[in-house]
């Protein structure tokens, strides 16, 4: 037989495009349209409905960037359409390729009831089925003219990302606004042909099935009268019945589809727009659930449910009903789909606490999967947090974005730093926006790495990033893919159903140990420094506020600010969303975040001050130092307050004859050269030099930084090929008191300026480095380098509830790809018996490299902190302006020292004047390796004290917790403060104290109740 395959395939494409798809709406009449544009920010629905309209017609421009326009469309169904299905077609000027990334609308009935959302892939509103003829149609549309930020030429700098700079030029032209007859049969024919055509394209050319589909398609096309598609669609469909009903092979891959809309809680739109995006999508999805009995939909992020509850109660009522029916599934159990690299231990825990509690309180539902499809890497601390939250599964597809290495599994056990294992699935469809295209389904089946031992994968299905969700076309395609020869099978299933099946079929999955590092988006550890600092400051202040408020409540009976703390936590958690904390949102988002963090800081400072004043007593003239850290310092106990100690003194700063200064405090001898660079740091006790010979520490290095794409997200490895050492010094001065010796260095470069203060305190084996930068660079990366005289194959970087090790070499492609990585408050490097900690108050990105010196054969291991970047997309002015950073170099440090210094740098001492002589801590722990990460009152408002403790050294550790109040009970709990099953955390109450025996990095939450 002659090969006419491509001829028939081309014929299918043209006939579908030019004849069949247009025949879905064979007849139409124009709607009359009126418009009113809100003068500024979005207005309440009632106001939008009531505002006077001006006429507008198809082709007219509308919609300044970030504006809201209220459209009213009116029309009459022609009498001739009686008995037909009639839909309104509302095209606001959509680009079919950009659902969620351009204008959108929410349709209301005249009484203000929301109907459904409108987006480029969903422009229809059913108005009559069957029509009587003569109906008057009135619909209102709240249309958001969100500008396109990520355009066809992506990553070009744009001022559109903030309403303050976006201008007023209309962004869109009104396109089709019609009432139209919807021909269900032709629409079904389109889906039939799409499913078969897309499946056919994925099959091997030599397979019989491919040719059988080709011939069926040809017969169907032959059957159609191209001048009268609507009359011949039924017979064309009947030619396809056999091809559509041939069953799948027994070994076919099995896809659990779940309706979904990935909705970034902020990204290329501000938070306030996400509130409306969620309302549009959920209105759409609840409507689709009513129309499609087999369809199921999952939505993550408790925050988004809370937004609809507050702002669109009518939509929320529909969501509640669909949840109660088991068809709208709250997923993920987190407050938002947060970043996981940077949130602190406590914040990561609270993401689950607030997320799960919301679902439990609102719906009585507890889900067991962490749902993080789009997050930029996963820390080794996360498995234990997931398990402690009462969850057991993780879903993400993001690691498929890695640039270099292909992850070896799709379904596996992921083991964290403490040994907790979480059953994890990476959907092999490699997207969280599956649209049921044949290419996606075939890719999932082909790509699945666990073939032969497992058969199931999950496919989140629906338009996402900016919302949209599943369409009726996707549901119709899924129905045809249930059981069809040549394809994976597709069934709508809830995430929990998928995980249960996947776990059952795969009793011995492979194990991946340690972090799930994303080999991409490494610059999200640095971009938008002020957002990151606001987050870190809030996390620290929340720790202090909870500790001091709990102490004040138990000691003085002061009211505990449950509601304030809840609200503040939720705001902080929201801003850990995976495009806010990582610094990858538009300027508007980061401008607002900075203001929000400032407001939270004021509130938290005031809560802390009130609680401390209550504890210090009033009036009085004694000065007390409060220590919120988990370690004693300056003889002030952890979690208590005591009078200021007398410091040992003894600091000196001496000018060197060759220029520069020497700082001494009896513990460290530090040499700073005439360029203001640190050439020597000697640990006096051991005589050990910290700085590698021939090198200079605290060296600022400036690199060009123009990645190939994703400017705010990415730094590409070639950035290191060139760079400038900032050694020119403008002024160099020193000063000393017995308590401290200080050197101040001023430098200018390009249009920027740096002032650094290096401080040595009396009695402290630590060099503090404060860096003020007035930053006016473009596409540059600023690093602070510390070349250390240390030979080590690995270093420790702090993560949630512990630390993980990374190699200092690049033997394998996996190691080479980690050229920029995350730490929380410290990195620690050591040789047996002697180590160095580098501590940071607010930076996360860093790199560690090694060289061997020609001079003495020794190894120089260089740690560099990443301070600032200057990408121009999506915020063209990222990080411009003034910044302050605080780092510290701690020679001779053990891991215990590193942990202690990490807490210290974020928790400054506070001096309060009052009448009390001391404030005794509520509790003490007698082993420094057991770190108290939170002290708070129980969320159930019972008055019980909640204490979270973790083993911080990575070793087996015993210790005793003693309370300063009579202890009636110590109940191990999960993160939600529910009784823990007791299989972890060896906790025993002995003589009114708690004996603890914890495994390496083990986390335990205790509910302590007072006697009497």
For residue 552, give every residue at least 6 positions away whose Cβ sits within 8 Å of its Cβ, in sequence order, or none: 558, 610, 611, 612, 614, 615
Nearest to Zn ion of 454, 573 (CB atom): 573
In this structure, what DSSP letter does residue 380 have? T
User: What is the signed CA dihedral for 508, 509, 513, 517, rounded to 10 degrees?
Assistant: -170
Residue 909: count of CB within 10 angstroms of its CB: 15
Q: For the residues of 243-306, what is the DSSP string, one character each?
A: HHHSPPPTT--EEEEEE---B-SSSSS-HHHHHHHHHHHHHHHHHHHHH-TT--EEEE-HHHHH
Nearest to Zn ion of 401, 562 (CB atom): 401
Smallest distance from Zn ion to CB 436, Å: 21
For residue 869, give every residue at least 6 positions away whose Cβ sits within 8 Å of its Cβ, in sequence order, or none: 523, 526, 527, 705, 712, 715, 780, 781, 782, 878, 879
Number of residues this chain uses to bind Zn ion (CB under 5 A): 2
Best CA proximity match to 739, nearest among 801, 824, 830, 647 = 647
| 339 contacts Zn ion (rule: CB under 5 A) | no
Contact 527/781 with Cβ under 8 angstroms? no
Nearest to Zn ion of 433, 771 (CB atom): 433
| 264 contacts Zn ion (rule: CB under 5 A) | yes
Contact 233/189 with Cβ under 8 angstroms? yes
Separation CA 351–CA 329 (nearest Å):
18
Only segment of 260-268, 269-277, 353-361, 608-616 that touches Zn ion (CB under 5 A): 260-268
Nearest to Zn ion of 42, 464 (CB atom): 464
HSE, side-chain direction, 13 A CA sphere, residue 637 = 12
Smallest distance from Zn ion to CB 521, Å: 11
Residues 610-669 touching Zn ion, rule: CB under 5 A, are none
Contact 630/927 with Cβ under 8 angstroms? no
Nearest to Zn ion of 119, 345 (CB atom): 119
Q: Which two tokens stand for residue 1010?
A: 């007072």
For Zn ion, what does the binding mask look like between residues 944 and 983, x meaning CB under 5 A? Answer: ----------------------------------------
Q: For the residues of 588-656, what is the DSSP string, one character each?
A: HHHHHHHHHHHHHHHHHHHHHHHHHHHHH-SS--EEEEE--SSS-BTTBPTT-EEEPPPP----EEEE-
Residue 120: count of CB within 10 angstroms of its CB: 21
Name the residues annotated as catalytic: 374
Nearest to Zn ion of 198, 374 (CB atom): 374
Nearest to Zn ion of 264, 705 (CB atom): 264
Contact 568/546 with Cβ under 8 angstroms? no
Smallest distance from Zn ion to CB 263, Å: 8
Q: Which two tokens stand for residue 156?
A: 């070009």
Separation CA 954–CA 794 (nearest Å):
15
Smallest distance from Zn ion to CB 156, Å: 21
Nearest to Zn ion of 387, 521 (CB atom): 521
Smallest distance from Zn ion to CB 384, Å: 25
Strand partners, 425: 395, 411
Contact 252/445 with Cβ under 8 angstroms? yes
Smallest distance from Zn ion to CB 397, Å: 11
Only segment of 261-269, 492-500, 783-791, 964-972 that touches Zn ion (CB under 5 A): 261-269
Cis preceding linkage at 200, omega within 30:
no
Q: Which two tokens stand for residue 743?
A: 């050197």
Element (H, E) at 199: helix 184-202
How far is CA 719 from its chain centroid?
Answer: 25
Only segment of 119-127, 371-379, 531-539, 876-884 that touches Zn ion (CB under 5 A): 371-379
Q: Which two tokens stand for residue 940?
A: 């159930």
For Zn ion, what does the binding mask look like between residues 220 and 259, x meaning CB under 5 A? Answer: ----------------------------------------
Contact 1003/954 with Cβ under 8 angstroms? no
**Main-chain dihedrals φ then ψ at residue 795, nearest 5 degrees:** -140, 160
Contact 313/320 with Cβ under 8 angstroms? no
Nearest to Zn ion of 376, 786 (CB atom): 376
Residue 814: count of CB within 10 angstroms of its CB: 14
Name which position in 192, 198, 239, 374 contacts Zn ion (CB under 5 A).
374
Smallest distance from Zn ion to CB 375, Å: 8
Nearest to Zn ion of 265, 771 (CB atom): 265
Strand partners, 434: 461
For residue 735, give every residue at least 6 positions away whose Cβ sits within 8 Å of its Cβ, in sequence order, or none: 653, 741, 742, 744
HSE, side-chain direction, 13 A CA sphere, residue 286 = 21
Nearest to Zn ion of 331, 912 (CB atom): 331
Residues 49-88 touching Zn ion, rule: CB under 5 A, are none
Smallest distance from Zn ion to CB 264, Å: 4
Nearest to Zn ion of 72, 402 (CB atom): 402
Q: What Cα–Cα distance (Å) separates residue 898 from each residue in 243, 569, 631, 945?
A: 66, 27, 12, 28
Nearest to Zn ion of 146, 171 (CB atom): 146
| DSSP tally for the chain: helices H, then strands E | 19, 53
Residues that bind Zn ion (CB under 5 A): 264, 374
């Amino acid at each position: 037989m002659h090969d006419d395959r491509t001829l028939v395939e081309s014929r299918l494409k043209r006939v579908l495009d030019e004849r069949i798809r247009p025949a879905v709406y064979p007849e139409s009449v124009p709607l009359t349209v009126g418009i009113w544009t809100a003068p500024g920010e979005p207005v309440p629905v009632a106001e939008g409905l009531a505002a006077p309209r001006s006429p507008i017609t198809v082709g007219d421009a509308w919609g300044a960037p970030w504006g809201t326009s209220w459209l009213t469309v009116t029309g009459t169904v022609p009498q001739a359409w009686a008995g037909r299905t009639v839909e309104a077609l509302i095209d606001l000027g959509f680009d079919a390729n950009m659902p969620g990334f351009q204008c959108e609308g929410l349709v209301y009935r005249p009484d203000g009831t929301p109907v459904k959302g409108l987006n480029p892939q969903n422009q229809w509103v059913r108005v009559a089925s069957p029509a009587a003829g003569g109906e008057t149609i009135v619909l209102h549309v709240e249309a958001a003219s969100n500008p396109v930020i990520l355009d066809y030429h992506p990553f070009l700098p744009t001022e559109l990302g903030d309403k303050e700079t976006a201008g007023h030029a209309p962004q869109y032209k009104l396109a089709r606004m019609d009432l139209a007859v919807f021909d269900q049969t032709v629409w079904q024919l389109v889906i039939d042909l799409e499913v078969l055509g897309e499946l056919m394209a994925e099959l091997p050319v030599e397979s019989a099935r491919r040719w059988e589909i080709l011939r069926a398609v040809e017969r169907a096309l032959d059957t159609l009268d191209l001048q009268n598609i609507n009359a011949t669609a039924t017979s064309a469909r009947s030619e396809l019945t056999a091809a559509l009903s041939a069953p799948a092979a027994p070994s076919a891959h099995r896809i659990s589809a779940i309706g979904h809309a990935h909705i970034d809680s902020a990204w290329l739109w501000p938070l306030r727009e996400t509130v409306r995006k969620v309302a549009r999508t959920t209105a759409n999805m609840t409507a689709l659930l009513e129309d499609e009995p087999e369809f199921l939909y999952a939505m993550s992020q408790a925050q988004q449910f809370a937004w609809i509850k507050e702002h669109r109660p009518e939509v929320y009522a529909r969501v509640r009903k669909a949840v109660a029916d088991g068809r709208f599934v709250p997923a993920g159990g987190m407050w938002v789909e947060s970043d996981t690299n940077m949130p602190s231990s406590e914040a990561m825990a609270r993401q689950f606490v607030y997320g799960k509690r919301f679902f439990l309180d609102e719906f009585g539902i507890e889900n067991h999967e962490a749902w993080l499809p789009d997050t930029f890497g996963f820390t080794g601390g996360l498995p234990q947090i997931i398990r402690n939250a009462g969850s057991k599964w993780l879903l993400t597809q993001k690691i498929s974005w890695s640039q270099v290495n292909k992850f070896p599994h799709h379904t596996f056990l992921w083991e964290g730093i403490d040994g907790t294992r979480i059953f994890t699935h990476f959907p092999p469809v490699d997207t969280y926006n599956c649209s049921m295209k044949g290419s996606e389904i075939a890719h999932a089946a082909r790509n699945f790495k666990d073939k032969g031992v497992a058969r199931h994968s999950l496919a989140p299905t629906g338009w996402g990033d900016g919302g949209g969700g599943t369409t009726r076309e996707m549901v119709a395609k899924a129905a045809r893919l249930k059981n069809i020869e040549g394809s994976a099978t597709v069934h709508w299933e809830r995430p929990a159903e998928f995980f249960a099946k996947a776990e059952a079929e795969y009793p011995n999955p492979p194990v991946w140990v340690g972090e799930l590092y994303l080999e991409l988006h490494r610059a999200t550890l640095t971009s938008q420094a002020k957002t990151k600092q606001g987050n870190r400051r809030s996390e620290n202040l929340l720790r202090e506020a909870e500790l001091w408020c709990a102490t004040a409540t138990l000691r003085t009976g002061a009211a505990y600010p449950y509601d304030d703390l809840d609200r503040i936590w939720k705001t902080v958690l929201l801003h850990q969303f995976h495009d806010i904390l990582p610094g990858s949102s538009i300027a508007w988002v980061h401008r607002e975040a900075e203001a929000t963090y400032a407001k939270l800081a004021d509130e938290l400072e005031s809560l802390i001050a009130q609680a401390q004043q209550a504890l210090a007593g009033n009036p009085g003239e004694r000065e007390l130092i409060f220590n919120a850290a988990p370690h004693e310092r300056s003889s002030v106990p952890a979690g208590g307050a005591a009078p200021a100690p007398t410091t040992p003194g003894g600091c000196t700063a001496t000018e060197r004859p060759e220029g520069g200064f020497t700082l001494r405090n009896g513990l460290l001898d530090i040499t700073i050269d005439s360029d203001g660079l640190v050439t020597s740091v000697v640990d006096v006790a051991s005589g050990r030099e910290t700085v590698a010979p021939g090198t200079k520490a605290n060296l600022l290095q400036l690199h060009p930084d123009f990645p190939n794409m994703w400017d705010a997200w990415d730094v590409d490895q070639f950035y290191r090929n060139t760079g400038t050492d900032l050694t020119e010094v403008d002024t160099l001065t020193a000063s000393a008191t017995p308590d401290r010796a200080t050197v101040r260095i001023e430098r200018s470069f390009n249009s920027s300026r740096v002032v650094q203060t290096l401080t040595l305190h009396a009695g402290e084996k630590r060099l503090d480095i404060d860096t003020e930068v007035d930053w006016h660079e473009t596409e540059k990366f600023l690093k602070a380098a510390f070349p250390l005289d240390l030979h080590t194959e690995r270093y420790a970087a702090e993560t949630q509830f512990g630390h993980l090790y990374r190699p200092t070499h690049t033997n394998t492609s996996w190691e080479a790809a980690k050229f920029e990585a995350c730490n929380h408050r410290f990195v620690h490097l050591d040789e047996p018996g002697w180590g160095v900690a580098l501590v940071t108050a607010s930076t996360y990105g860093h790199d560690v490299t090694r060289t061997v010196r020609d001079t003495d054969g020794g190894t120089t291991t260089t740690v560099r902190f990443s301070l600032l970047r200057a990408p121009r997309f999506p915020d063209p002015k990222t990080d411009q302006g003034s910044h302050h950073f605080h780092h510290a170099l701690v020679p001779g440090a053990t891991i215990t020292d590193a942990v202690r210094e990490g807490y210290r740098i974020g928790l400054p001492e506070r001096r309060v004047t009052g009448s009390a002589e001391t404030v005794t801590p509520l509790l003490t722990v007698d082993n420094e390796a057991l770190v108290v990460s939170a002290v708070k009152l129980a969320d159930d408002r019972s008055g019980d004290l909640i204490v979270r403790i973790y083993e911080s050294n990575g070793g087996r550790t015993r210790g005793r917790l003693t309370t300063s109040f009579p202890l009636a009970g110590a109940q191990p709990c999960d993160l939600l403060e529910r009784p823990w099953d007791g299989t972890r955390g060896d906790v025993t109450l002995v003589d009114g104290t708690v004996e603890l025996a914890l495994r390496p990095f083990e986390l335990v939450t205790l509910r302590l109740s007072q006697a009497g």
